[in-house]
Structure 1
Amino acid sequence: MPTKNAVGRFGEDLASRYLTTEGLVILERNWRCGIGEIDIVAREGGTLVICEVKTRRGLGYGSPFESITYRKLTTLRKLAGAWLRSHEVHPSEVRIDFVSVLLDHGAQPQVEHLRGAA
Structure 2
Amino acid sequence: MADHNDLGKLGEDLAAKHVLSEGYKILERNWIYQKKELDIVATDGKSLVVVEVKSRSTDHFEHPADAITLSKIKFLCRATQGYVDAKDIQMEVRFDVISVIKRNGKFEIEHIEDAFIAPID
User: How many percent identity over aligned positions?
Assistant: 37
Deviation, structure 1 residue 105: 4.4
Kindly report the root-mean-square deviation, in angstroms, between the aligned alpha carbons of the 2 structures.
1.3
CA offsets 1:49-71 (integer angstroms, 9 cap, x no match): 00000000012331111112111
**Which runs of no fewer than 5 residues in structure 2 stay unpaired?**
117-121
Task: Give 2:42's aligned residue.
Answer: 42
Which of the two has greater strand per residue? Answer: 2
Amino acid at match of 1:56: R
CA offsets 1:79-113 (integer angstroms, 9 cap, x no match): 1100111111211x10011000001242x210000
Give the TM-score of the pair, scaled to structure 2.
0.89
Task: Give 2:107's match in structure 1, choosing from 106, 109, 113.
Answer: 109
Task: Give 2:22's aligned residue.
Answer: 22
Specify the SS of the correspondent of 1:103.
strand
Give, in whole Å, the separation in 2 of the partners of 1:59 and 1:85.
36
Give, in whole Å, the separation in 2 of the partners of 1:96 and 1:63.
18
Specify the SS of the correspondent of 2:115.
coil
Give, in whole Å, the separation in 2 of the partners of 1:73 and 1:67.
11
Give the TM-score of the pair, scaled to structure 1.
0.91
**Which runs of no fewer than 5 residues in structure 1 stay unpaired?**
none
Specify the SS of the correspondent of 1:15.
helix
Alignment coverage as a number of residue pairs: 115
Specify the SS of the correspondent of 1:58.
coil
CA offsets 1:12-47 (integer angstroms, 9 cap, x no match): 000000111111111110000215210000001120
Give, in whole Å, the separation in 1 of the partners of 2:84 and 2:60.
37
Specify the SS of the correspondent of 2:65.
helix
